Amino acid sequence: MIHLEVPLPGRTYPVLVGDGARHELASVIPPGTRRVAVVTQHEVGVDVDPGREFRVFVMGDGEAAKTMTTVETLCRDFAQWGLNRNDVVVAVGGGIVTDTAGFAAASYHRGVPVIHVATTLLGQVDAAIGGKTGVNIPEGKNLIGAYWQPSAVLCDTEVLRSMPPREYRSGFGEVAKYHFLGGDHLDGLSLPEQVAACVRIKAEVVASDEREAGRRAILNYGHTLAHAIETAGSYDVRHGEAVAVGLVFAAEVAHQLGRIDAERVALHRQIVAGYDLPTTLPSGLAAPDLTGLFARDKKALDGVAFVLDGPDGVEVVTNVPADAIHAAFARITP
């Protein structure tokens, strides 16, 4: 088992990575906890034992369940059961569950502790780490939420073996991102080591900027286009697949601006394709469907903003000119 710590101002929390990590849940429950509300989805199919009285609350399956309605339902169910601030919410699932249950925990009684048992690769390397919670509205992904750090995160690599192949592969979209955030060493690592390496990178960034006042925005590398693709709707695209396309698009934009050379763009394409992920837009989706959605991105405080690679590494770049964006779209349109 790999034991990591996410350092925060005034405290740290543990992250356990490895086969069977879910069985360590009882050991990370805060002392004095009376009850545990386990939030999951039917499709997750992973059982946990927190070692004290608990009840399972099942939210709807799929991204469609990541809504304020679900948060209200969970909070009402918590209240009817009698959950209070001395109790704990445990989110068991992928990013949909950890984001939604985390937001419910942040909101209920103005905040009760939450522990994440991440059961997808995407959740383990990204969504469950760092304290971002939130739900979607029709206008965009994760536009309503809160920063609410977990008390602990368990990344059980054993459960990844039962994931549907496409969902598992999608998680590598986030792994591909970390290649450009200091993860040059990710190739050749075992899966638990790869997950742990991604957690270390994210933990270091989060520790330096917990509430995304600046540097933490680099963790959104590839996500400006990815979130636009997902918000456009009605396309069969997984989050990691959208991030993969977004990484290539961001590299093409950076090349148009003279920030990186053609060799660096080719490296982006090579890494993304190496994980058997797409490098072009979904068929039928075009630039006009997406450019209007960029302004809804949470980084868009000063014109259209992207996280882009460059001579000083990955950073936020504002007021990206339209001609660079359109030229980059031409490079990723099938």
Mean pLDDT, rounded, of the chain: 94
Do both 231 and 167 map to the same domain? no
Do both 254 and 171 map to the same domain? no
Do both 253 and 310 map to the same domain? yes
Evaluate whether residue 315 is within a structural domain. yes
Query: pLDDT of 267-282, one tens digit each?
Result: 999 999 999 999 999 9
Do both 173 and 225 map to the same domain? no
303 pLDDT band, cuts 50/70/90, is: low
State the CATH number of the domain containing residue 258.
1.20.1090.10
Do both 26 and 103 map to the same domain? yes
Over 80: is that where the pLDDT of 164 sits? yes
Do both 45 and 137 map to the same domain? yes
Do both 25 and 122 map to the same domain? yes
Average pLDDT over residues 246-264: 98
Among the listed residues 152, 83, 72, 153, the one whose alpha carbon sits nearest the alpha carbon of residue 112: 83
Evaluate whether residue 282 is within a structural domain. yes
289 pLDDT band, cuts 50/70/90, is: confident
Evaluate whether residue 197 is within a structural domain. no
Among the listed residues 82, 142, 150, 80, the one whose alpha carbon sits nearest the alpha carbon of residue 111: 150
Query: pLDDT of 147-156, one tens digit each?
Result: 999 999 999 9
State the CATH number of the domain containing residue 83.
3.40.50.1970
Over 70: is that where the pLDDT of 297 sits? no
Do both 170 and 230 map to the same domain? no
Query: pLDDT of 181-203, one tens digit each?
Result: 999 899 989 999 999 999 999 99
Among the listed residues 124, 280, 293, the one whose alpha carbon sits nearest the alpha carbon of residue 203: 124
Do both 236 and 161 map to the same domain? no
Do both 18 and 130 map to the same domain? yes
SS (H, E, C) the chain: CEEEEEEECCEEEEEEEECCHHHHHHHHCCCCCCCEEEEEECCCCCCCCCCCCEEEEEECCCHHHCCHHHHHHHHHHHHHHCCCCCCEEEEEECHHHHHHHHHHHHHHHHCCCEEEEECCHHHHHHHCCCCEEEEEECCEEEEEEEECCCCEEEEEHHHHHHCCHHHHHHHHHHHHHHCCCCCCCCCCCCHHHHHHHHHHHHHHHHHHCCCCCCHHHHHHCCHHHHHHHHHHCCCCCCHHHHHHHHHHHHHHHHHHCCCCCHHHHHHHHHHHHHCCCCCCCCCCCCHHHHHHHHHHCCCCCCCCCEEECCCCCCEEECCCCHHHHHHHHHHHCC
79 phi and psi, to 5 degrees?
Answer: -65, -40
Residues 6+ apart with CB under 8 A from 98: 91, 116, 118, 123, 127, 128, 133
Helix 95-107 vs helix 68-81: angle between axes, to the nearest 10 degrees?
60
Evaluate whether residue 215 is within a structural domain. no
How confident is the model at residue 10, as a pLDDT? 85
Q: How many domains does the chain have?
A: 2
Q: Which residue has the higher pLDDT, 87 or 287?
A: 87
Domain of residue 92 covers 2-177
Evaluate whether residue 31 is within a structural domain. yes
Average pLDDT over residues 45-69: 96
Over 80: is that where the pLDDT of 55 sits? yes
The Cα 63–Cα 252 span in angstroms is 29
How far out from the chain centre does Cα 32 lie? 30
Give whole-number Cα distances, 169 to 134, 293, 297, in Å.
24, 26, 25
How confident is the model at residue 300, as a pLDDT? 47
Q: Show which of 142, 177, 212 is a domain's final residue.
A: 177
Give whole-number Cα distances, 271 to 137, 174, 193, 313, in Å.
32, 12, 18, 17
Query: pLDDT of 214-252, one tens digit each?
Result: 899 999 999 999 999 988 876 789 999 999 999 999 999
304 pLDDT band, cuts 50/70/90, is: confident
Query: pLDDT of 113-137, one tens digit each?
Result: 999 999 999 999 999 999 999 999 9
The Cα 303–Cα 131 span in angstroms is 27
Evaluate whether residue 39 is within a structural domain. yes
Encoded tokens for 241: 């697949």
212 pLDDT band, cuts 50/70/90, is: confident
Do both 267 and 129 map to the same domain? no
Do both 251 and 313 map to the same domain? yes
Over 70: is that where the pLDDT of 87 sits? yes
Show which residues are catalytic: 110, 132, 174, 202, 212, 216, 220, 223, 227, 239
Average pLDDT over residues 260-273: 98
